[in-house]
Structures are given as structure tokens and as C-alpha cells.
Amino acid sequence: MQKPSLANHWRQDLTAGFLVFLIALPLCLGIAVASGFPPMAGIISAIVGGLLVSRIGGAQLTITGPAAGLIVVILTAVQTLGDGDAMAGYRYTLAAIVIAGALQTVLGYFKAGRLAAFFPASVVHGMLAAIGIIIISKQLPVMAGVQSQGASILSGIVALPHSLIYFMPQIGLIALAGIVVLIGWPHIQQPLLRKIPAPIIVIASGILLGHMFQLDQLQPGEAFIVPKDVLFASHFLVTFPDSLLTSFYLPDFSKLSTLAFWESVISICLVGSLESLLSAAAVDKLDPEKRYSDLNKELRAVGIGNVVSGMIGGLPMIAEIVRSSANIDAGGRSSWANFFHGGFVLLFVVLFPDLISTIPLASLAALLVYTGYRLASPQAFAKSMDLGKEQLALFVITIFAILASNLLVGVLIGIAAKLLLHIGRGVPLGNLLSISFKLQANGPNSWIIKVSGAALFSNFLALKSQVAGLADGQTVIFDLSATDLIDHTVMEFIAHYREDYIARGGRCEIHGLADLESLGDHALAARQRR
């Protein structure tokens, strides 16, 4: 799809880009700090994502930049590769980002965008919920002004109650103010105030309170006796360079031959690619003009962006759903909104670097805790339960596997659990990776797709590719009367395909579901022959 020229909608895109910049700036800083990177690393990622990826990508309305979903992967890489040396870990991780970006670029050229469908929905949702839990556990101590305890994820979570008993009142008040704003701001009815992004209010209130409490001079108080194993933070404000040029760092490839390095590469590539593809597909559903992204082109562009970002000291980037949604709400019409967002970020850090140094870390932590809660909210568990007990079980298994090991291993365990569940239901081993279906003409401009056996997350890519090639404006009928089992991922795909095909002017029907028993209360729950 040819990108619209700048002259087409530059006013709408300029306005949307500015509003997205207001949302992105504090999140970029917070994500970088939480990832164990310098704050400027998040800014670099947003600039590269906006100025470069927007021009070579395959999406119209997505905003590209650092995302909370990658915090866990990057922080783990910094700690593992650095062996206690934060700067060394940072530079080794930059090298991993460059290699991961190169892999993403290659995957895009080989049209691997469709492989995102191979990951079952329950495992993806479990991964996101686990990331949310880890973000919350890492950022709550920052909101209290103390250092997090525990070497592993689980030990850190267990140590939270003990750590949070002792906190700095000034820091806690700043964080609490941020949370109150994030919860209450959407309920404000005044039209002009509603146009101001809540993250900007969080940062503004944090700067004001930080000035009142003189955070640049604040030292941990002695209002109570603190156990020796509880340590207060050493500083409470963002540390930001005076010059943009001094913030560039080169990657260190000296650990290229180690297993830990390649584990980091695969994790960055897997999570970044999966989040980008899922976000881009989700944004397409919000596009008022019903345009569709070239996911392979978008994956290539993100990969190239990650290579560039990693080479100069930046975080990896994805097509980010929250900022993309804000872009659409603000009237963004093309990828130039993403370009302008990156331009505004660059302009701000060049003109006002000193202002960034007055932002309290507690305010950024409040933004991230709120983001983590949205990823791991009770509604996420309720939705899984609504899809059926086995979906809830897979969701929870994935969460605990990630918390007990790491993100990559946890996702693989979730996928293995899903496959074992299907084997336990009697699905033949050959059917796990191969689907049986026939595409037949059913009259002029009419097609019928007869599916038999088991239609699963692990075998439906061939079906997805086949129906993607059908022309618009025809009649497509899915005949599922001969299927023995349809899992949630395939149910979701068929339902979304039907909605999209009808929106493009065609007719799409689903036959045969009445012969199958739903395994949950949700309309898209897995179904099995009675």
C-alpha cells in the first residue's frame, strides 16, 4: 500500500503527533529506567521509531517506540550479561538488540509475520499478565523510595511486604498523587482538561511536589529504625545528560559466543516481534478507513529500527498499542503522525534537557505500575475463565512458568501445555501441525471452506494463508460441521475474519457450530464435538 503524501493530512497528523509525544515522553523515560538503561535510551528509541520506521514501515497509524512489555526482557539481559556491572550489561544488551533487530529484518523478508498466529491466545495473554506482575513488583519499591529486594523474580515478589513497610513519605506521596491522577483523570468531564494526557499531569504534579520536597537534596530520614536489609534509593530524580551527543553508547559484541547472550537475543526478538505484530493487527481494527498493515514490511522496518537504535544506545521498539490508539483518537490519518511524534521528542530533548532532570522517578514508577496493572488486571483473569477452565489453566500456567524461570522458557512451557491438552483430548500427533480443509467453488463468486478433524493454533496457518488470498466482495462460507475440535485461537481468527470480510463489502457465514459443544461461556470459546 502506497503511503499518503505529507500534503494530504499534515495538519491532522501534526496535531496527533504532538499529543502522542506528550504521552510518549514520560513513558519512554520510565521504560528506560525500569529496564536498567539510561533514561535517554527510551528517547533514542522513540526518535528512531518515529523518524525512521514511520517512513519504511507497513502500517499507517501505529506509533513505534519503547514498550512496557519489553522491560522484563531487557532488565533480565542487563543483569545476566553484566554480572553486576550495570554499564557493561547495558552495552552487551545493546549488542543483543542489534542482533535481534537483524533477525527481525530477516524474518520480515521471509514473510514470517503470519507466525504470530502460532502462539495460542491464552499463552500470549498469560505472557502479558506475567510481564504486568513483574513490572508492578519492580516499580512498587521505587514508589516507596527503597531498593527492591530479592535476586529472582519470585523472591522479589515475596520480599515486597517487608520492603514496603519502610518508605519515604515524600516519595510515597508523589507516587500516590500520580496513581490518583491516572485513575481519576478519565472521569473528568471538562472538555478542555480531558484533552490533556494524564501522563503529562502525573509528570507535572511530580515536578511540582519534587520541587516542594527538594528531592535533589533529599536524604533518607531517620524517623524510624530501618533493618539493615532494607536500603533506600540513592537518588530520586531522573539522571539526564546535558547534551544529546554525550548520550550515545556503542554496543559491545564480546559476549556473542555465550549462551546467555543468545537467550537474550531470542527473547528480545520473540517478544518484540510478537507484540509488534499483534499491536499492528489490533490498530488496523481501529482504523476509521479500514486499511490493513503489511505485517511483514512492518516487521522488517521494526527490525531495521532496532539495529539503528541498538547501535547508538537505544532501547528496542515495537508498534505500541496505547500510543497508537491515542493517535487515532487525536485524529491521526497516516504514518506521518508517527514521524511528527518522533520529531517532537527530538526537539524537546534538544531544547529542554534540564526540565527532564527534575522529573521524580516515583512519578515514572506510578505510570509503569498503572500500565502493569492494566496488563495483569482481574479482568484479564476473568476473561480467561470466561473462555473455559482449560484456557484459565493455560493462562495461569504461563504466568507461573514465567515468574519461576524467565519469559522465553515460560512461553515455551505454556505452548507445550497447550499441545499436551490437545493430545489428551485425542488429537492425533499428525493433526497437531497439519490441518485438513478443502476450498471449493460454491457458485459464481462464492466459496466454501470445509474443515475437518482438529483446527488448532498449531496447524491453522495454512488455512489462514488460503483465505487471505480470497478476493473482496464475494461470498465465503466456513463449514465446520466435520470438525472434532476448534480451539479458541482458531475461533477468534474465523470470527475476526468474518467481521473484516463483511466490512470490506463481502459476505461471510459460519456453518456447523451447532453440532459442537462450547467449552466456555464466551462466544469464541473452544468447541468440541459432543
* Residue 166 CB contacts under 8 Å (≥ 6 apart), including other chains: 144, 146, 224, 226, 227, 230
pLDDT tens profile 347-379: 999 999 889 999 999 999 999 999 999 999 999
Paired strand residues for 446: 475
CB 326 within 8 A of CB 27: no
Q: Give percent of the chain above pLDDT 70.
A: 95
3-state secondary structure of 438: strand
Q: How many residues in total does the chain contain?
A: 530
pLDDT over threshold 70, residue 150 = no
List CB contacts of 454: < 8 A, sequence separation 6 or more: 422, 427, 428, 431, 432, 435, 483, 484, 485, 486
Mean pLDDT of 493-502: 92
Q: Coil, strand, or helix at residue 90?
A: helix
**Residues in CB range of 2: below 8 A, 6 or more apart:** none
Higher pLDDT, residue 2 or 52: 52
Cell numbers given for 128: 502479558
Amino acid identity of residue 253, one-letter, is: F
Q: What is the pLDDT of residues 36-86, one digit of tens each?
A: 999 999 999 999 999 999 999 999 999 999 998 899 999 999 999 999 899
Note whether 101 and 310 are within 8 A (CB): yes
Q: What share of the chain is helix, strand, coil (3-state, %, to 5)?
A: 65, 10, 30
Task: Take residue 396 and report the three cell numbers written for it.
Answer: 495461569
Beta strands in 296-445 (DSSP E): 318-320, 436-441
Strand blocks (E) in 398-445: 436-441
CA 342 from chain centre, in angstroms, equals 19
* Residue 113 near residue 299, CB atoms below 8 Å: yes
Picking from 410, 394, 392, the residue whose alpha carbon sits closest to that of residue 402 is 410
Q: Report the pLDDT value the prediction gives residue 226, as an integer from 0 to 100.
A: 59
Smallest CA-to-CA distance from 447 within 430, 419, 470 is with 470
- pLDDT of 176-225, one tens digit each? 999 999 999 989 988 888 888 999 999 999 999 999 999 888 776 544 55
Q: If you average pLDDT over residues 240-258, what whole number do you get? A: 89
* Mean pLDDT, residues 31-40 taken together: 94
Cα torsion for 449, 454, 460, 462, to the nearest 10°?
-60
- pLDDT confidence of 278, banded at 50, 70, 90? confident
| CB proximity list for 404: less than 8 A, separation 6 or greater | 153, 154, 410
The DSSP call for residue 439 is: E
The average confidence (pLDDT) of the chain is 89
Instruction: Give percent above pLDDT 90 in the chain.
Output: 61
List the grid coordinates of 105: 529484518
Q: What CA–CA distance (Å, rounded) separates 309 from 303?
A: 10
Phi, psi of 41 (to 5 degrees): -60, -35
Angle between helices 389-404 and 378-386 (to 10 degrees): 140
**Whether 445 contacts 474, CB under 8 Å:** yes
Q: What is the pLDDT of residue 425?
A: 87
**pLDDT value of position 191:** 85
Question: CA-CA distance, 298 to 302, in Å (whole number)?
Answer: 6
Task: Assign 523 to helix, strand or coil.
Answer: coil
